[in-house]
Structure 1
Amino acid sequence: MLRPHLFCILVLSGIVSATGISASGAAEPNDPSKDPWPGLVQDIFSNRPMSDGSDVIAIEMPYRAEDAAIVPVTLRSKLAPDDSRRLKAITLVIDQNPAPMAAKFEIGSDTRVSEISTRVRVNSYTDVHAVAELSDGTLHVVKTYVKASGGCSAPAAKNAEEARNHIGQMKYRQFARADQGPSNGAREAQVMIGHPNNSGLQMDQITHLYTPAFFVDELHLWQDNSPVLSMEGGISISEDPNIRFTYVANGAKTFRAEARDTSGHVFQKEWKVDDSGS
């Protein structure tokens, strides 16, 4: 993950322009001969071997995004029910973004998370890769292509004062109530965090200075004390991070979340499992 101070150094040194952003801030068409993926495999995955993941994981994104600052993405397990392997982690890489590793999701060993959805910034036309690590240590990759531009430099939806008042507010929603099935059955839930998630590329329209990178870089979720899902995030996760996922309930009475941002703030909240969290 790219820390805020390092990211600012990269911007000032001009490396961002090599990822498809012109001096004017407009996205330029990517040069197919300069495919960044081989270098990303080395930088992010230490050149570990990867297999075709079409029978392991699916990635779903719109081919042409309506809003480059909030592009929906869904990662879905395709492992057969009788497969002895399980998903251990999923890494989402937006190849042409200034900081390509958008998020790494670590999956609790007993929760069988099978689907994760969130919203991301896409800065220029790009391949997007999802790399699944299985419990046997193997890596499996799939990709899709997205037409979008300017997502990392798009102005925040909220003004600065509203964003400050919103920081750290967390909501939880569940989509299968306790009285609609067994307490240890499959469930779908959503955790939302109020945070500007500044990318470091957004310019203040009054001062013409760049707003420093400031984003949620850690999120941990538990049912009682059993880990469900963890996320290591970067600048590509959209404003007000929103994570929706499916998991298998273990009969826990509470659901708990803890988030940290790059300024060291810690946000915590706990909900009853049958509470809508609204």
Structure 2
Amino acid sequence: MKALILALGLSLSATALTAGTAYAAGASDTDQERAERWNDLKKELFAGKTIEPSETMVKIDAPKRAEDAALVPITLTMPEKDKVKSVSLVIDDNPTPYAAHFTFGPAADPGEIKLRVRINNYTNVHAVTETTDGKFYESVGFVKASGGCSAPMGMSDEEAMKGMGEMRMKFSEQAPGKPAEATLMIRHPNFSGMQMNQVSRDYTPARFIEKLEVTYGDKLIFHMDGDISISSNPVIGFGFKPEGKGPIKVAASDNQGGKWQHTFQAPSPSN
């Protein structure tokens, strides 16, 4: 969490969220309690920023009740995408609420981001966009889930780490005049630090993808700062402008110093 806060240039006091700040959370919380918790988080994570509600700047599509709390699909849609500089995903009641921050580059089509996350409790989920003129907007969703951050992976740590850093990318069929769409898949356990090894009965140390950068030729599509709330074997869907030249390059690094790179051949632009 501290690394993510530093990377975003946000308030360092947000590290208190992992240093014992108590946020009572559960299915019985009232709307007022959830609102107060979000106000506290905003002060920590976006210190000094005014954040206005707006579903025309960002919308959240999430299941009302998760089928698997360790693999919850989230889609962030930015209808006024040309105004968007970055988007943040905050899962209010997770142990480290700041799940991910995406900064878009000149090759991005920032209309939509898809990812899978862990959700540890019945919680509000917030998306916050920063626009190119320095304003901030938020939207909120509610997800019923429990135990996603501590859920075991169903295999040994050694098995979970096999092939770590391997990547695949799928491209959707591109319609003429429309942005190109891609899905990036990375093999990485993204250990949360809360999962118990089923053999040793010790907790597996946190190891998660901390930074991810995707470029098209010499232009940035997006940079992501992540934390333990992103699910194991991350899957991220994104859009990009198809007029670029050169391959799509992905560079990933985790909080324990692991680094991986992969290059994918982008589909030819459609007329």
2:94 is matched with which residue? 97
Q: Indicate which of 179, 187, 194 corresponds to 1:186.
A: 179
Q: Indicate which of 241, 245, 264 corresponds to 1:248.
A: 241
SS at match of 1:259: strand
Please say if residues 19 and 97 of structure 1, whose CA atoms lie closer than 8 Å, have aligned partners that are also in contact: no
Moved over 6 A (4+): none
1:148 is matched with which residue? 145
Amino acid at match of 2:253: R
1:58 is matched with which residue? 59
CA 251–263 in structure 1, closer or farther in 2 if over 3 Å, else same: same
- The separation in 1 between residues aligned to 2:169 and 2:267, in whole angstroms, is 11
CA 201–128 in structure 1, closer or farther in 2 if over 3 Å, else same: same
Please say if residues 113 and 248 of structure 1, whose CA atoms lie closer than 8 Å, have aligned partners that are also in contact: no
SS at match of 1:166: coil
RMSD of aligned alpha carbons: 2.5
1:23 is matched with which residue? none
In the alignment, is residue 229 of structure 1 matched against residue 228 of structure 2? no
1:39 is matched with which residue? 40
Q: CA deviation at 1:153?
A: 0.4
- Percentage of identical aligned residues: 36
SS at match of 2:200: coil
SS at match of 2:68: coil
Amino acid at match of 2:259: V
- The separation in 2 between residues aligned to 1:58 and 1:30, in whole angstroms, is 24
Please say if residues 188 and 246 of structure 1, whose CA atoms lie closer than 8 Å, have aligned partners that are also in contact: yes
1:108 is matched with which residue? 105
CA 239–157 in structure 1, closer or farther in 2 if over 3 Å, else same: farther
Larger deviation: 27-36 or 242-251? 27-36
- The separation in 1 between residues aligned to 2:205 and 2:86, in whole angstroms, is 29
**Structure 1 unaligned runs (5+)?**
21-26
Please say if residues 197 and 237 of structure 1, whose CA atoms lie closer than 8 Å, have aligned partners that are also in contact: yes
Amino acid at match of 2:263: E
Please say if residues 109 and 179 of structure 2, whose CA atoms lie closer than 8 Å, have aligned partners that are also in contact: no
- The separation in 2 between residues aligned to 1:67 and 1:46, in whole angstroms, is 33
- The separation in 2 between residues aligned to 1:158 and 1:2, in whole angstroms, is 29
How many residues are matched?
A: 257
2:75 is matched with which residue? 74
Q: CA deviation at 1:144?
A: 0.5
Q: CA deviation at 1:157?
A: 4.2
Q: CA deviation at 1:110?
A: 4.3
- The separation in 1 between residues aligned to 2:44 and 2:191, in whole angstroms, is 24
Please say if residues 86 and 112 of structure 1, whose CA atoms lie closer than 8 Å, have aligned partners that are also in contact: no
In the alignment, is residue 30 of structure 1 matched against residue 23 of structure 2? no
2:10 is matched with which residue? none
- The separation in 2 between residues aligned to 1:40 and 1:139, in whole angstroms, is 15
- The separation in 2 between residues aligned to 1:157 and 1:244, in whole angstroms, is 25
2:212 is matched with which residue? 219
Please say if residues 96 and 125 of structure 1, whose CA atoms lie closer than 8 Å, have aligned partners that are also in contact: yes
Larger deviation: 102-111 or 88-97? 102-111
- The separation in 1 between residues aligned to 2:60 and 2:27, in whole angstroms, is 25
CA 19–265 in structure 1, closer or farther in 2 if over 3 Å, else same: farther
CA 19–263 in structure 1, closer or farther in 2 if over 3 Å, else same: farther
- The separation in 2 between residues aligned to 1:149 and 1:17, in whole angstroms, is 18
Q: Normalising by the residue count of structure 2, what TM-score does the alignment of the two structures yield?
A: 0.87
SS at match of 2:108: coil
SS at match of 1:36: helix
- The separation in 2 between residues aligned to 1:228 and 1:266, in whole angstroms, is 19
Amino acid at match of 2:229: S
CA shift digits 1:108-135 (9 cap, x unpaired): 1342321000000000000000001010
- The separation in 1 between residues aligned to 2:48 and 2:155, in whole angstroms, is 40
Please say if residues 23 and 93 of structure 2, whose CA atoms lie closer than 8 Å, have aligned partners that are also in contact: no
Q: Indicate which of 163, 168, 171 corresponds to 2:165.
A: 168
